[in-house]
């Protein structure tokens, strides 16, 4: 459901890579467990194929217990991108603890084939990988796309736990500073866009101090919700071009309102600011600048980065 801040992705971990060219050339080798793979070693400005034993990399034992920084991307059999860690994590690499490989044919064994600096393409049977690594049934859309799933990996470096934690913290501080600067600049741009949208659509809006615009289209007579209270809301979310990206009319709600607590981060910040402005029973239009919606990341394929949004809502209940 798009309103929740932590949108669950299909995969456990993943990221954007520049490995499309690697995927096109050469034949896949194959482990005894059935994983198809191509591994490439870093030679400065280029990559060349690196031979890996079908039984695994003999040097992996020296890395067990350490932390691997990596970028990952998952694709369907039709080459549609499922998840991209560099995009999702705003350039910060993922970090995983390397462990003794206990399950053959899954992600653990694939990662164990890599040395620091390697890039690789792995191709899995979807039934096998979902059973062994994700421990869930294969989603229908994956089966429809084909019988395989591809994972592209860039193994950056192996570190001790202390080194990895220090790097992670430094990267997050830098990312936060960059995001805050971008949000401040984007808020100005979005405000101009929203003011233009208000004029073109002849909306009689009010503006909250946060930058959210709202217009009550049907007043309610009940109380306004306070921080911590649970509310029930019906909604339709749109881009400013009118494209609907989510609605409580769609499954799984099927016309029923969604429930969430005000002010505790269960929904996007713009909702936490806007819904308390409404009385129980009200219907309203809310315009939210992108930093108070999904910001630079966007959301899935429906909401682009830096997209201001419109929501038509009804505050059904305050509990």
90, 9 Cβ separation under 8 angstroms: no
| CA distance linking residue 142 with residue 149, whole number of Å | 8
Instruction: Write b or e for each residue in 180-206: b if 16 or more Cβ atoms lie within 10 A of its Cβ, otherwise e.
Output: eebbeebbeebbebbeebbeeeebebe
Block mean pLDDT (10 aa), the chain, length 319: 32 36 64 92 84 86 95 92 84 91 91 94 93 88 91 95 93 87 94 97 95 96 94 96 93 89 94 96 97 88 92 96
10, 35 Cβ separation under 8 angstroms: no
283, 200 Cβ separation under 8 angstroms: no
Q: What is the pTM of this model?
A: 0.63
298, 267 Cβ separation under 8 angstroms: no
**pLDDT of the residue at 234:** 96
The CATH architecture of the domain made up of 186-318 is Roll (3.10)
Percent of the chain clearing pLDDT 70 (strictly above): 92
Query: For the domain with range 20-159, which CATH number is right: 3.10.50.40, 3.40.50.300, 3.20.20.120, 3.90.1150.10?
Result: 3.10.50.40
**pLDDT of the residue at 18:** 42
**pLDDT of the residue at 26:** 59
Domain with CATH 3.10.50.40 in the chain: 20-159, 186-318
The enclosing H or E element of 150 equals: strand 148-159
74, 10 Cβ separation under 8 angstroms: yes
Residue in the block written with tokens 């390697």: 118
**What's the mean pLDDT when you consider all of the chain?**
88
Q: Return the structure tokens found at 41.
A: 């070693």
């Amino acid at each position: 459901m798009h309103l929740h801040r932590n949108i669950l992705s299909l995969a456990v971990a993943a990221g954007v890579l520049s490995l499309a060219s690697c995927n096109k050339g050469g034949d896949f080798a194959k482990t005894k467990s059935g994983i198809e793979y191509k591994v490439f070693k870093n030679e400065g400005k280029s990559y060349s194929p690196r031979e890996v034993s079908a039984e695994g990399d003999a040097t992996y034992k020296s890395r067990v217990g350490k932390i691997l920084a990596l970028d990952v991307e998952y694709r369907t059999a039709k080459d549609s991108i499922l998840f991209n860690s560099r995009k999702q994590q705003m350039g910060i690499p993922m970090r995983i603890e390397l462990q003794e490989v206990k399950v053959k044919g899954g992600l653990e064994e694939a990662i164990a084939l890599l040395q620091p600096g390697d890039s690789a393409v792995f191709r899995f049977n979807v039934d096998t990988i979902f059973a062994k690594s994700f421990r869930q049934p294969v989603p229908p859309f994956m089966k429809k796309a084909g019988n395989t799933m591809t994972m592209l990996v860039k193994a950056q470096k192996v570190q001790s736990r202390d080194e990895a934690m220090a790097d992670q913290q430094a990267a997050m501080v830098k990312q936060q500073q960059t995001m805050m600067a971008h949000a401040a600049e984007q808020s100005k741009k979005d405000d101009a866009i929203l003011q233009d949208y208000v004029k073109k659509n002849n909306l009689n809006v009010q503006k909250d101090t946060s930058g959210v615009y709202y217009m009550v289209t049907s007043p309610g007579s009940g109380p306004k919700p306070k921080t911590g209270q649970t509310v029930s809301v019906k909604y339709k979310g749109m881009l400013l071009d009118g494209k609907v990206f989510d609605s409580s009319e769609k499954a799984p709600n099927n016309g029923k309102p969604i429930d969430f607590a005000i002010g505790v981060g269960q929904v996007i910040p713009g909702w936490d600011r806007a819904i308390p402005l409404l009385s129980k029973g009200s219907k309203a239009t809310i315009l939210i600048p992108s930093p108070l919606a999904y910001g630079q990341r966007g959301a899935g394929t429906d909401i682009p980065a830096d997209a201001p949004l419109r929501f038509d809502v009804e505050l059904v209940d305050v509990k």
